[in-house]
Amino acid sequence: MNCKTRKRAEETRTVMARERELSAQQRAAVLEERNQLAAEFHDALAQSFAGISMQLEVAQEQLAAKQGDPLRQVQRANEIAKFGLAEARRSILSLRSSAMEESGLTATLRRLVENSNVAGRLHCDFRSDDIPEESLPSKIQHELLRFAQKAISNAVRHARPTVVSVTLQWEPPNLILTVKDNGSGISRASLKKSEGFGLRNMRTGASQIDGKLDIHTAAGRGTSIVLSVPIRS
């Protein structure tokens, strides 16, 4: 084997090693993301089941004592179960890596929002411009889906809204995702710390796709969370 052949072979091995290393890093990143989603899914379900159990225990005690309003406790347990079911549907959709490939970003977001409806308690709607999905990197699409999932979940769990509106707008060169609710809002202290309501995770996710996050809120006046992502042509 001459020098040129050996050099080419070494270069080929180096390239292959780098590709294996990159592939391993990508797999690790995907695994970490899915583990985080699974943990969030687990926490949400655990919270729902704990709430249901507590309400039913109170109802049982009131029935035994023949006082209070046990029917109200059962109704509240039913409400918690419905919200928990909506949360499970949102989380499962985010965990399914094939959902985006099968339906595209806009359709998957629409399904996410529709799955969040709770009859008689929470109305969620989705509106979208004509989005150039073919030019959107898959990472951006997945982060937008996760962002919407987190924003809806946090609003439902913390702000107790009756209406959540999600819009996806195309204002070149930016793609803008807005999640707006009519819930209790976020206090200035929590907003300043960026710790409550999952804001820190949202900011981290936005930074990973060079996005800009804006939050408009006030205690008792609902919250509007806007993610603007530049799309390079």
Q: Which two tokens stand for residue 201?
A: 């995770």
CA distance 145 to 200: 17
Give the lowest-confidence range in 5-19, 148-162, 213-227: 5-19
pLDDT at residue 216 is higher than 60: yes
* Residue 160 pLDDT grade (very low, low, confident, very high; cuts 50, 70, 90): confident
What is the β-pairing status of strands 123-128 and 223-230? unpaired
pLDDT over 90 percentage in the chain: 26
Say what the pTM is. 0.69
Please state, rounded to an integer, the average pLDDT across all residues of the chain: 81
pLDDT of residue 121: 82
What region does 49 belong to: left with phi over 0, alpha with psi -120 to 50, or beta?
alpha
| pLDDT value of residue 170 | 95
Residues 6+ apart with CB under 8 A from 126: 109, 110, 113, 114, 165, 166, 167, 168
For residues 132 and 86, which has the higher predicted lDDT (pLDDT)? 132
> What is the C-alpha to C-alpha distance for residues 207 and 194, in angstroms, rounded to an integer?
14
The residue behind tokens 């309501």 is 197
Read off the pLDDT band of 20 (50, 70, 90): low
Band of pLDDT at residue 115, cut at 50, 70 and 90: confident
pLDDT of 173 > 80? The answer is yes
Q: 201 or 108, which is more confident?
A: 108
